[in-house]
Amino acid sequence: MRAPAQGFAGVENYSRRSAFPGACVFRLLICDDHPPIRTALRLLARQVDPTSDVTETGNARDLVEVLRGRRDFDLLVLDLQLPGMSGLSVLSEVKQLRPELAVLVLSADESPQSVDAALQAGASSYLFKSASETVLFQALKDVCGRRLALPESITAKAGGRGRAVPDDGLSLSARQRDVLNCLLHGMSAKQVARTLGLSEGTVKSHTVAVFRALNVSSRAQAVVEAHRRGITLGC
């Protein structure tokens, strides 16, 4: 195993040079106080991108120090149950420091209330620690591709494929409902545009209208709010 490069105290960095000059390297930051979890995530990141640059820390203080010193991370995997500081407080501070950073919360807390609170605080996605390795691997790929990753127990409440979005009282046009349906399938703006034959600018305009109708501010929150309203997935 490649020896970790030491930076801040309590922080380990595992990086490899890409075999392809100029290639984009996946830069992952992990904050979890359980070393086996960090090791498993590092190995999964290597499967997503063998040249991954992985930095690990086990507490909120070191996490904040790392983010103050580096601004090139693609993704933060964050445990909400960290010693010495509320996970949601950590998440809020992270989003203040790096509002553009994608954050995947990986937590043992499986309550819908915790999922919603994390999404409201700025998390891009939320997965349970009980998730299989396959699910975690796909989540890393999805979040890096700016696609939503949520537990099946959350998304399943929105219904199964093959059922149309019902008449739920939302003031949305037919095309805006098409966009909402695509969001419920976890599609990125580019994927929605390709699927519906629209420009990305038009998709973004429709997405703003959907967010306004649902009274949310992110795709993740839209999915949670949709399942609360009983809105189901179309084909």
95 assigned to some structural domain: yes
Stronger pLDDT, 10 or 129, i.e. the higher one: 129
Asked whether the predicted pLDDT for residue 149 surpasses 60, the reply is: no
| Torsions phi, psi for 11 (to 5 deg) | -115, 130
- pLDDT category of residue 67 using cuts at 50, 70 and 90: very high
Q: Which residues 6+ apart lie within 8 Å of 65 measured at CB?
A: 8, 11
Asked whether the predicted pLDDT for residue 72 surpasses 90, the reply is: no
64 assigned to some structural domain: yes
Asked whether the predicted pLDDT for residue 78 surpasses 90, the reply is: yes
Same domain, 125 and 68: yes
211 assigned to some structural domain: yes
Q: Total domain count for the chain?
A: 2
Same domain, 64 and 162: no
Same domain, 175 and 135: no
Same domain, 163 and 144: no
Last residue of a domain, one of 115, 149, 183: 149
Q: What is the mean pLDDT of residues 138-144?
A: 71
Q: Return the structure tokens found at 30.
A: 């992990």
102 assigned to some structural domain: yes
Asked whether the predicted pLDDT for residue 145 surpasses 70, the reply is: no
Lowest average pLDDT, out of 63-77, 158-172, 199-213, goes to 158-172
136 assigned to some structural domain: yes
Asked whether the predicted pLDDT for residue 30 surpasses 90, the reply is: yes
235 assigned to some structural domain: no
Same domain, 145 and 50: yes
Please state whether the predicted TM-score (pTM) of the whole model is above 0.75.
Answer: no
Asked whether 221 and 207 are in contact (CB, 8 A), the reply is no
State the SS3 of 49-81.
CCCCEEEEECCHHHHHHHHHHCCCCCEEEECCE
Same domain, 130 and 185: no
- Which pLDDT score, from 0 to 100, does residue 65 have? 93
Domain range spanning residue 176? 157-228
CATH code (residue 55): 3.40.50.2300
Same domain, 189 and 93: no
Same domain, 90 and 65: yes
Q: What is the mean pLDDT of the chain?
A: 76
Last residue of a domain, one of 149, 178, 212: 149
Last residue of a domain, one of 85, 115, 149: 149
What is the three-class DSSP state of 206?
helix
140 assigned to some structural domain: yes
% of the chain surpassing 90 pLDDT? 17
- Which pLDDT score, from 0 to 100, does residue 5 have? 47
